[in-house]
């Protein structure tokens, strides 16, 4: 009787091991072919029967598949779970940074990329992540963001341009004054008031 129970337990263990390997392999293969919905299904099945030491790679793989499907909120939950399980894992750190960047949370993304850069310099995805995140912030609000005009500055520029054109057309400043130009410009209806 004990021998039959041992054989049954061994058979169940082998079946679970087979199912785990099969589901995780099909999930990884589906992700390689770009079938991320299928990959997520197989990763979920594999996670249900996985041992504790095999959970982290599956969570990271599912996180990548979710981020490729633009389900960044779910992917960030997986990335956070992977980071809490093993904070020193480089892939979990890189996934968190990448997902935060895709969610337009550039500052936190740079923080995670920089933490990974301190741990590992090669391959250069952490260094590139810091550079890209910094460049994005500079383009949005930094020195590369371009000239920001307020309405008064823009109006003044338009008036100056019109005044120069009218001055060259009429010949002298005495013929036309800034007040006349200002009255002329304010009498023109705005786009919102115009009928289309």
Residue ranges of the chain with per-residue pLDDT less than 70: 1, 3-7, 9-10, 144-196
Instruction: Please state, as a whole number, how many other Cβ atoms lie within 10 Å of the Cβ of residue 70.
Output: 10
Q: What's the number of CA atoms in the CB half-sphere (13 Å) around residue 102?
A: 19
Any idea which residue has 């004990």 for tokens?
2
| pLDDT for 13 | 72
For tokens 């923080």, name the residue: 111
């Amino acid at each position: 009787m004990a021998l039959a129970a041992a054989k049954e337990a061994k058979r169940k263990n082998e079946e679970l091991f087979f199912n785990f390997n099969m589901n995780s392999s099909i999930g990884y293969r589906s992700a390689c072919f770009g079938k991320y919905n299928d990959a997520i299904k197989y990763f979920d099945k594999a996670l249900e029967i996985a041992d504790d030491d095999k959970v982290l790679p599956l969570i990271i793989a599912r996180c990548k598949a979710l981020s490729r499907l633009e389900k960044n909120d779910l992917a960030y939950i997986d990335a956070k779970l992977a980071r809490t399980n093993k904070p020193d894992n480089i892939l979990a750190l890189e996934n968190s940074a990448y997902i935060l960047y895709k969610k337009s949370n550039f500052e936190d993304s740079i923080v995670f990329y920089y933490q990974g850069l301190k741990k590992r310099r090669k391959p250069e995805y952490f260094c590139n992540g810091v550079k890209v995140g910094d460049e994005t912030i500079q383009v949005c609000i930094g020195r590369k963001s371009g000239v920001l005009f307020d309405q008064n500055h823009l109006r003044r520029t338009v008036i100056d341009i019109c005044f120069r054109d009218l001055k060259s057309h009429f010949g002298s400043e005495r013929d036309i004054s800034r007040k006349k130009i200002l009255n002329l410009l304010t009498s023109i209806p705005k786009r919102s008031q115009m009928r289309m």
